Amino acid sequence: MLYDTLLLDADGTLLDFDACEEVALHYTFAQNGLPYDREIKRVYQRYNDALWEQFERGEVSKEQLQQLRFARTLQHLQLPGDPKTLNRLFMQKLGQGGFTIPGAGEVLSALYGKVRMVVVTNGITATQHSRMQRSGLLPYIDRTFVSDETGSQKPHRQFFDYVFEHLPQLDPARTLMVGDTLHADMLGGQQAGLDTCWYEPTGCKSDEGLKITYRIVNLCDLLTIVLSEEHAYKIR
């Protein structure tokens, strides 16, 4: 086999963040006596996504991200409420969400014992560890690295250096980075000198010129890449 270690992103790759977020947002707004619908969710996601991009570039802190996403949402919608309270309730409920991407359990089970599988995720330590625990996927995972505890986040090289330092006998040439985001996962893996596998289930998005090694639309396709001698799904 070409690879003996897989670095696996969590949200959008193994964990169904959209499902977890929907439940947590609905709960948070309801607990504060606020309305909640698709438009409110759209506004929140626009500010949240923009702040996460800023966070990955090192332009805002974790604390700023958590407060500003709700502050800007409430301001935009002209709704009352305390951003800190909303964020606290949201994070509590989010940490209880263990929804997984279809096929994630089956794929990890099939790969278990054949390759070392390590989760590498941006996020809040307690929340991400709780969600992984509730997902039922942890029995297959060797280690979990969360940006909040590493001191840096994907795609920065410092995050991957931390992972490399804490994984004995890791060979970058035999390590594959698997994830759903171009910036955090594909660019991050590329900058760390790793082969990359882009999980993009719609099959529609552009790779924006990144030198991605593989592109898959179904997690089960990862089995062919890892277990087969053929270079299936290779795009360079």
User: Per-residue pLDDT tens for 176-215?
Assistant: 999 999 999 999 999 999 999 999 999 888 888 899 999 9
The pTM score is: 0.90
| Residue 130, CA atoms < 13 Å, CB-side half-sphere | 13
The pLDDT, as a whole number, for residue 229 is: 63
Tokens of 96: 């209880």
Average pLDDT, the chain: 94
Q: How far is CA 194 from the centre of its chain?
A: 18
For 7, the 3-state DSSP assignment is strand
Catalytic residue list: 9
* 46-72 pLDDT tens trace: 999 999 888 878 899 888 999 999 999
DSSP label at residue 58: T
Burial of 27 (0-12, 13-18, 19+ CB in 10 A): middle
